[in-house]
Amino acid sequence: MRWVRYWGPAAVWAVVISVASTGHFTSEKTAGHMIPFLHWLFPHASWVTIGEIHHLIRKSGHVFEYFVFTLLLIYGFSGGRREWRWSWALIALGCVACYAGLDEFHQSFVPGRGASVWDAMLDTSAGTLGILVAWIWWRRAGRRARVSNHRPT
């Protein structure tokens, strides 16, 4: 059960990423929902601007997916230990880069989707951002623990 507790979230999130790479989430299909909403939200924006916002939202989805995936991988590698290890972070980043590449390869076979090296690089960059945020959080959490342990009672 220890495996499920620490690795289950990353495994579930990997499935979420794979589902988001199916034909149900092509640009054309998401545009059918998002473009009318964006036009309602920004009624005076040009169609070009609305299209650019739609594109930005889709790319932000990549960043969010792989940022979270990286955090969950680090959580899995840590196995509940409180110290920080760069080896966990680097292995997590390697996993993210490989998964991003496999995801793009998978998309090359999905009608309406295509493989993009740029998307894989964006995903890996999101992983790097995830590592930076996790490291900062770990440092601050460790600092708070040291301060609270040294306070006079």
- Report long-range pairs for 80-83 (Cβ below 8 Å, ≥24 apart): 80/5, 80/6, 82/141, 82/142, 82/145, 83/142
pLDDT tens track for 10-45 = 999 999 999 999 988 888 889 999 999 999 999 999
Give pLDDT tens digits for 140-149: 987 766 666 6
pTM of the model: 0.88
CA dihedral 92, 98, 102, 104 (to 10 degrees): 90
